[in-house]
Amino acid sequence: MAAVLEVSHVSKFFGGLAANSDVSFTVDEGIILGLIGPNGAGKTTLFNCITGFYPPSRGDVLFRGHRVNGLTPDKVCKLGMARTWQKVRPLAKMTVLDNVIVGALARTNKLSVASEIAMQQLRNVRMDRRAGHLAGGLPIGERKKLEVARVLATQPKLLLLDEVMGGLNPAESEEIIQLILEIKKRRITQIVIEHDMKAIMRISDRIVVLNSGEKLAEGLPREIGSNQQVIAAYLGEAFA
């Protein structure tokens, strides 16, 4: 299978602090890649480097063969790579439908077309009943789903989900898991940052582990689950 994304020796420094150092991995088309690591491991920074919010200090990001580091986030989005935010960012004073329309307008100039795409995406996340509500008034579970619907409306080929299950109850998390698996069926490649190990083990085809900004391990979920270094990074040396 062809690689959709190639992260090649990416480093990001903030002053003297290395938030990412020499991280490399590739993501094959259609898979779900789990990106895990303890707090402060540099997962979100890596997302920012991949999607154009930060230029990497060193290294390259290749998306479907094109070098995208140095491009602004809007251009990255137009190329077909889109991300959600760990801390959700609803367009609070716009309706749920209008939020998703904004996403859909990345691919069309026609409001009527965008509106149809948006409504379809809302149906996919089972939020069409909420179309006329203001996004700012939604509970957290629905804000997370709105975030996913909105980003899907930009019709990405690669989707980067930053802790979409964070702060959700088990039923809501399960709904998101099903959603991620549905997205996979639509052949959209996904990189998923998640803290819920059970969930990430279940949905991921491959897992990359970051620790202190470096790649600690990479492999199939069961390999990662029994990797001594990974257990040590999460629980301390005593448990390894």
Partner 1 sequence: MRPPTPRGLAIAPLLGICALVLALVAFPLVVDSPYALHIMILLFLTVVQGAAWNVVGGYAGQYSVGHSAYFGLGAYATIILLQYRHVAPWWGLWPAVFLAMAVAVIIGSITFRLRGPYFVLASIAVAEIFRLVALNWTSVTNGAEGILLSEIPPLQIGGRTITDFISKVPFYYAVLALAVLTVAANWAVKHSKLGYYLQAIREDQDAAHSLGIALPVYKNIALVISVFFTAWAGAFYGLYVGFIDPATVLTVEVSVQFVLICIIGGIGTIAGPILGAIVLVPLSEALRANLLSDLLFRLGVVSEGTPTGVFLKDNLAHAHALIYGILVVLVILFMPDGVLGFVRRLLARRRPPTQALSAGSEMKGSA
Minimum distance from residue 224 beta carbon to partner 1 (Å): 29
Identity of the residue, 129 or 222, whose beta carbon is nearer to partner 1 in the bound complex: 129
Minimum distance from residue 7 beta carbon to partner 1 (Å): 18
Identity of the residue, 31 or 134, whose beta carbon is nearer to partner 1 in the bound complex: 134
Q: What is the 8-class DSSP label of residue 127?
A: -
Identity of the residue, 126 or 198, whose beta carbon is nearer to partner 1 in the bound complex: 126
Minimum distance from residue 16 beta carbon to partner 1 (Å): 26
Identity of the residue, 167 or 219, whose beta carbon is nearer to partner 1 in the bound complex: 167
Minimum distance from residue 230 beta carbon to partner 1 (Å): 30
Q: What values do phi and psi take at 144, rounded to 5?
A: -65, -45
> Considering Cα of 23, then 30, then 115, then 98, what sign does the dihedral take?
negative
Minimum distance from residue 5 beta carbon to partner 1 (Å): 16
The Cα 6–Cα 25 span in angstroms is 6
Minimum distance from residue 22 beta carbon to partner 1 (Å): 26
Q: What is the 8-class DSSP label of residue 71?
A: B
Give strand ranges (E) for 64-199: 66-67, 81-83, 158-162, 189-193
Identity of the residue, 154 or 204, whose beta carbon is nearer to partner 1 in the bound complex: 154
Cα-based distances in Å from 173 to 60, 105, 155, 170, 233 = 33, 29, 23, 5, 25
The Cα 235–Cα 229 span in angstroms is 10
Identity of the residue, 118 or 233, whose beta carbon is nearer to partner 1 in the bound complex: 118
Contact 77, 154 (CB under 8 A): yes
Binding site for partner 1 (CB under 8 A): 51, 53, 72-75, 77-78, 82-83, 85, 89-95, 97-98, 101-103, 105-106, 109, 111-112, 114-116, 118-119, 128-129, 131-132, 150-151, 154
